[in-house]
Amino acid sequence: MAETIATSGTIAAKSGGRMKFIVGGLLIIAAIGYLIYTSIGSTQQYFFTIQELKERGSSVVGDNVRVSGAVIGESIQYDAQALELRFAVANVPADQKEIDALGGLAVVLNVAVNDPTAARMEVIYIGVKPDLMKGEAQAIMDGHIDENGLFHADTLLMKCPTRYEGELPTQAAP
Amino acid sequence: MTLTLGLTSLFLAFACALYASVAALIAGPRKLNAWIDSARNAAILTWPLLTLASLAVIIMLVQGQYQVEYVSDVSSLAMPWYLKVTALWGGQAGSLLFWSWLMSAFASAAMLRRWDRDRSLMPYVIAVSMITLAFFILLCLFVENPFRRLWLSQATGEVNPALFQPANSTLFTPQDGRGGNPLLRHPGMIIHPPMLYLGFVGFVVPYAFAVAALITGRTDDEWIRTTRRWTLVGWLFLSLGLILGGRWAYDVLGWGGYWGWDPVENAALLPWLTGTAFLHSVMIQEKRGMLKKWNMVLIILTYALVIFGTFLTRSGVLSSVHAFAQSAIGPLFFGFIGITFTISMSLLFWRWDSLASETQMDSLLSREAAFLLNNLLFLGIAFATLWGTIYPLISELVTGQKITVGPPYYNRVNGPLLAILVLLMGIAPLIAWRKASFKSLGKLMWIPAALTIPTLILFYFLGAAHPVALGAYAITAFVGYTTLSEFARGMVARMRLGENPLIALINLSARNRRRYGGYTIHLGVVVMAFGVIGSNLFQTETQATLAQGETLSIGGFTLRFDSVALFPTNDNREVTRATVTVFDSSGRLIAELHPRRDFFLDSGQPMTIPGVRSTFGEDFYVILVDWQPIGSTGATFKVYVNPLINLVWTGGLIFILGTLVATWPDADEEKRYAAAPASTLATAGAD
């Protein structure tokens, strides 16, 4: 058939044409891959427990990390004019399964705050004090630790074991 | 009674879906038409049955039957009736039922269409859609059943939910429900999940046709032509869902933005990205008979991402990936995605040879090549987004250390990719099929390029003196002008025939809805891009604690704190409402705003509603973050000035309008299709 002849006659040209697309495509894919790789490297954020952060010591000073801890109620100091919030947090496990095994978030937070042997860390945050900032709340913070062991939080997210889960409301009169 | 009726209907719908898929799969290859018809009837029947089941839940919600676990979880006495109705999708169990109901509506509608042209595909379309439906009803029945009641055990005194009465227990009826998540009581959140779900289920139909095409070997373009409108409808709703979700975040979440690259947002964006790539690349298949395998891959991926997206967003409540892994739903979802993905890909490899391209790519400078690049970029963005979303899980699996990435990652990767994609969106429609020349391209581009320069100078003097912003605006403006020039070219041709400009525009768009609907969508993207660039790069914010009468200044505006009032409402909220006055740079009063904080007593959750003064140029957005009792320091405010943010919503409207134009049935097109040479269809169908 005419078509087959034409095809065989231009095999070299065609495979060259295909090659162009394959090479071009691969180059683009490689560029996107490289972009993802470098961006992950420069923006990734380690999720540490306070214990882990303390153990790593000076090697993590200045690194952008995420830490979660139990807020110690009596340590909260807030200057509403300067918008400066200082508080201390105690170590809690990061793993959800571990938290569940220990009896849930509320129990874990309560134990952490009352355990004098748990690792602790001072935190400073410039900004508005969140509503849920109170003792035995879980603080999830992004920021960095300085040489003195003070954690500078850039963002602060609070989590409270609410009465929303678990507890049952009162029953209607039958 | 209602409960029994609903539960029975749900169970019967499950039986119908199972029967339909099994019957269709057995009867399909044997061409047992009576059985295929019976499977089809069973598939159609799922819709009325699921309608009954959903109505039963709605009735229980409205009546306040709090002995039903789902009702007491998501509604409360204080809620108005319409919120009780929409509470159907306010929680996990209900939203799974709602998803199934929408899915069955789409599937039934697909069953009722005319099948004379592609009857051989029908059994497999039935099977695929009904297997998907059966999976969701299965979750509804056995994992998250909305009909479970609360039972008080006489032995232990504990209250547990169960479908049927456990031994030694009595029904437990709470006085009031817990009322669900107050954040979801916003109009945006009432419409947003149905839109998203409609988008999700819309993509199941083209996927079902694609799989049917693979099974039957009818791998011509039939499945693509048949499902074009279904795909567009799904895509329309998904786009609408994404835009409404952004609006909801802006109005309710009180952080001054509309998109935060949250896992849940990403989950809804992922199928949109692959779906958009699919919508573009099917055009090459229709026009040039290429990329057939690739289109199959895209629709299979989209389906997998739809299920993944449903899994992440199904309740509409923001939760971490961890929370899902704990319930039985996680493994079931991943199992289902894994199985369907493996089967679809195996089918694709089985039919690999029959999906060979009919023609070859000719030139790197051709419309085909531009479409290929478009696909690569969409998939690149989708992959980067997926990778960022699941990165915490992967890193924990590999290194044991949980590592997260946030918005900076997405901005760094997706920012440049989106910029190239937008640029391509402007140039590609100008490039000819097969082979284009730089000379002809230059001819079409010089006017838009020339117009871009004064526009940039204007932006520079309006305050956009920022190299990244100017670069981004340059691309966006250029693309806007090229798209407009496409409209202009068409209009000028018609005006030569004596039509006035408006009539010319209307006729042009009506005669070629696909094309000009598409360009309108592109224009919508351009307008949105202006808004996104402005509101991202030039957003300013400040916060301060003010005493009564004190002021703060930001971006030429001055805000004065006047008063704050606390009052309860009759639907169990405690509202703190501040009054602030906004002045412009000349000291003229321009607005009185009321940022407020609603505290929902039944769920113990606060909700921050910003006070916004919205103009075309910018939004002045005030959030009340904290306040002190009267007489002491006063109140703390966070203030954002978001330039051009309204262009995001305006662009969204244009985008949706364009999609409607492209989707609207076109009598001419139908006729052309019907008159297409029967031979191609006949040979393809005569296997």
Residue A114 has what pLDDT?
Answer: 85
The whole-angstrom separation of Cα B174 and Cα A174 is 10
- Supply the CATH number for residue A122's domain: 2.40.50.140
Statement to judge: residues A80 and A103 lie in one domain: yes
The whole-angstrom separation of Cα B186 and Cα B252 is 8
Statement to judge: residues A32 and A53 lie in one domain: no
Task: Determine, for residues B408 and A43 on separate chains, whether the beta-carbon distance falls below 8 Å.
Answer: yes
Q: Report the range of poorest mean pLDDT among B273-282, B561-570, B651-660.
A: B561-570
Q: Does B418 reside within a domain?
A: no
Instruction: For residue range B41-66, list pLDDT tens digits in order.
Output: 999 999 999 999 999 999 999 998 88
Statement to judge: residues B69 and B195 lie in one domain: no
Statement to judge: residues B452 and B396 lie in one domain: no
| Residues from chain B contacting residue A141 (CB–CB below 8 Å) | none
Q: Does B511 reside within a domain?
A: yes
Task: Determine, for residues B403 and A45 on separate chains, whether the beta-carbon distance falls below 8 Å.
Answer: yes
Would you tell me how many other CB atoms lie within 10 Å of the CB of residue B356?
Answer: 11
Instruction: Provide the b/e sequence for A47-71 (b: ≥16 CB within 10 Å).
Output: bbbbbbbbeeeeebeeebbbbbbbb
| Residues from chain A contacting residue B417 (CB–CB below 8 Å) | 32, 35
Please check whether residue B387 touches A, CB under 8 A: yes
Distance from CA of A69 to the nearest CA of B (A): 16
Statement to judge: residues B446 and B592 lie in one domain: no
- Tell me whether residue A171 is exposed, middle or buried, using C-beta atoms within 10 angstroms of its C-beta: 0 to 12, 13 to 18, 19 or more: middle
Task: Determine, for residues B416 and A32 on separate chains, whether the beta-carbon distance falls below 8 Å.
Answer: no
- Please say if the pLDDT value at position B573 is more than 90: no
The whole domain housing A14 covers 2-42
Q: What mean pLDDT, rounded, does chain A reach?
A: 77
- Please say if the pLDDT value at position B522 is more than 80: yes
Q: Does A103 reside within a domain?
A: yes
Statement to judge: residues B105 and B154 lie in one domain: yes
Contact B517, B509 (CB under 8 A): yes
DSSP B185-201: GSHHHHHHHHHHHHHHH
ipTM above 0.85, yes or no: no
A95: its two tokens:
């793993």
Mean pLDDT of B62-76: 88
Of A32, A46, A174, which is closest to B380 when you measure between CB atoms?
A: A32
Task: Determine, for residues B404 and A42 on separate chains, whether the beta-carbon distance falls below 8 Å.
Answer: no
Please check whether residue B255 touches A, CB under 8 A: no
Q: Does B609 reside within a domain?
A: yes
| Residues from chain A contacting residue B401 (CB–CB below 8 Å) | 46-47
Contact B494, B508 (CB under 8 A): yes
Percent of chain B, pLDDT > 90? 36
Please check whether residue B392 touches A, CB under 8 A: yes
Task: Determine, for residues B603 and A40 on separate chains, whether the beta-carbon distance falls below 8 Å.
Answer: no
Statement to judge: residues B581 and B451 lie in one domain: no
Residue B671 has what pLDDT?
Answer: 63
Alpha-carbon distances, residue B439 vs A21, B427, B436 (angstroms)? 22, 14, 9
Residue B64 has what pLDDT?
Answer: 87
Task: Determine, for residues A43 and B412 on separate chains, whether the beta-carbon distance falls below 8 Å.
Answer: yes
Q: Does B42 reside within a domain?
A: yes
Statement to judge: residues A28 and A78 lie in one domain: no
Statement to judge: residues B224 and B324 lie in one domain: yes
Residue with tokens 């003097």: B461
Sequence letter at residue B660: L
Residue A164 has what pLDDT?
Answer: 35
Distance from CA of A115 to the nearest CA of B (A): 25
Q: Are strands B159-162 and A120-126 parallel, antiparallel or unpaired?
A: unpaired
DSSP B374-402: HHHHHHHHHHHHHHHHHHHHHHHHHHSS-
Of A14, A24, A170, which is closest to B364 when you measure between CB atoms?
A: A24
Please check whether residue B153 touches A, CB under 8 A: no
Q: Does A168 reside within a domain?
A: no
Q: Does B649 reside within a domain?
A: no
Q: Which long-range contacts (CB under 8 A, 24 or more apart) does B331-339 make?
A: B332/B139, B332/B143, B333/B307, B333/B308, B336/B135, B336/B307, B337/B304, B337/B307, B337/B308, B337/B311
List, edge to edge, every strand of the sheet that includes B540-546: B540-546, B635-643, B618-627, B611-614
**Nearest alpha-carbon partner for B653 in B244, B300, B272:** B244
Q: Does A30 reside within a domain?
A: yes
- Supply the CATH number for residue B22's domain: 1.20.120
Residue B436 has what pLDDT?
Answer: 77
Would you tell me how many other CB atoms lie within 10 Å of the CB of residue B492?
Answer: 11
Would you tell me how many other CB atoms lie within 10 Å of the CB of residue B434?
Answer: 12
Task: Determine, for residues A21 and B372 on separate chains, whether the beta-carbon distance falls below 8 Å.
Answer: yes
Alpha-carbon distances, residue B8 vs A65, B107, B385 (angstroms)? 52, 21, 41
Statement to judge: residues A24 and A89 lie in one domain: no
Q: Does A164 reside within a domain?
A: no
Answer left, alpha or beta for residue A103, where phi above 0 means left and psi between -120 and 50 means alpha. Answer: left
Statement to judge: residues B165 and B188 lie in one domain: no
List, in order, residues 6 or more apart from B461 with CB less than 8 Å away: none
The whole-angstrom separation of Cα B119 and Cα B115 is 5
The whole-angstrom separation of Cα B37 and Cα B140 is 27
Sequence letter at residue B87: A
Residue with tokens 């662009």: B651
Kind plus residue range of the DSSP H or E element containing A104:
none
Distance from CA of B562 to the nearest CA of A (A): 18
Statement to judge: residues B237 and B171 lie in one domain: no
Q: Does A165 reside within a domain?
A: no
Alpha-carbon distances, residue A141 vs A45, A66, A89, A118, A144 (angstroms)? 11, 6, 11, 18, 9
The whole-angstrom separation of Cα B62 and Cα A25 is 56
Residues in chain A: 174
Q: What mean pLDDT, rounded, does chain B reach?
A: 85
- Please say if the pLDDT value at position B92 is more than 90: no
With cut-offs at 50, 70 and 90, classify the pLDDT of residue A137: confident
| Residues from chain A contacting residue B66 (CB–CB below 8 Å) | 172
Residue B668 has what pLDDT?
Answer: 62
Q: Does B651 reside within a domain?
A: no
Residue with tokens 């076109």: B666
List, in order, residues 6 or more apart from B81 with CB less than 8 Å away: B62
Contact B671, B648 (CB under 8 A): no
Q: 3-state SS of chain A: helix, strand, coil percent to 5?
A: 40, 30, 30
Kind plus residue range of the DSSP H or E element containing B685:
helix B678-685
Q: Does A173 reside within a domain?
A: no
Contact B79, B571 (CB under 8 A): yes
Q: Report the range of poorest mean pLDDT among B217-231, B580-594, B612-626, B644-658.
A: B217-231
Q: Does A125 reside within a domain?
A: yes
Statement to judge: residues A135 and A95 lie in one domain: yes
Would you tell me how many other CB atoms lie within 10 Å of the CB of residue B59?
Answer: 17
Would you tell me how many other CB atoms lie within 10 Å of the CB of residue A126?
Answer: 14
Statement to judge: residues A36 and A54 lie in one domain: no
Residues in a beta bridge with A158: A139
Q: Does B419 reside within a domain?
A: no
Of A20, A29, A171, which is closest to B175 when you measure between CB atoms?
A: A171
Instruction: For residue range B428-486, list pLDDT tens digits in order.
Output: 888 878 877 888 888 888 888 889 999 889 888 887 778 888 999 999 999 999 999 98
Please check whether residue A128 touches B, CB under 8 A: yes
Please check whether residue A174 touches B, CB under 8 A: yes
Instruction: For residue range B385-430, list pLDDT tens digits in order.
Output: 999 888 877 887 787 777 888 888 999 999 999 999 999 998 888 8
- Tell me whether residue B619 is exposed, middle or buried, using C-beta atoms within 10 angstroms of its C-beta: 0 to 12, 13 to 18, 19 or more: buried
Q: Does A172 reside within a domain?
A: no
Contact A97, B402 (CB under 8 A): no
Statement to judge: residues B547 and B512 lie in one domain: no
| Residues from chain A contacting residue B391 (CB–CB below 8 Å) | 40, 44
Number of structural domains, chain A?
2
Statement to judge: residues B572 and B500 lie in one domain: no
Residue B328 has what pLDDT?
Answer: 66
Statement to judge: residues B108 and B198 lie in one domain: no
Please check whether residue B678 touches A, CB under 8 A: no
With cut-offs at 50, 70 and 90, classify the pLDDT of residue A17: low
Residue B686 has what pLDDT?
Answer: 33
Task: Determine, for residues B387 and A36 on separate chains, whether the beta-carbon distance falls below 8 Å.
Answer: yes
Helix (H, G, I), strand (E, B) or coil at B530: helix
pTM for the model: 0.87
Residue B653 has what pLDDT?
Answer: 94
Please check whether residue A159 touches B, CB under 8 A: no
Helix (H, G, I), strand (E, B) or coil at B651: helix
Statement to judge: residues B175 and B241 lie in one domain: no
Would you tell me how many other CB atoms lie within 10 Å of the CB of residue B288?
Answer: 20
With cut-offs at 50, 70 and 90, classify the pLDDT of residue B275: very high
Instruction: For residue range B104-114, list pLDDT tens digits in order.
Output: 999 999 888 87
The whole-angstrom separation of Cα B516 and Cα B519 is 5
Number of structural domains, chain B?
4
Please check whether residue B579 touches A, CB under 8 A: no
The whole domain housing B392 covers 181-351+367-411
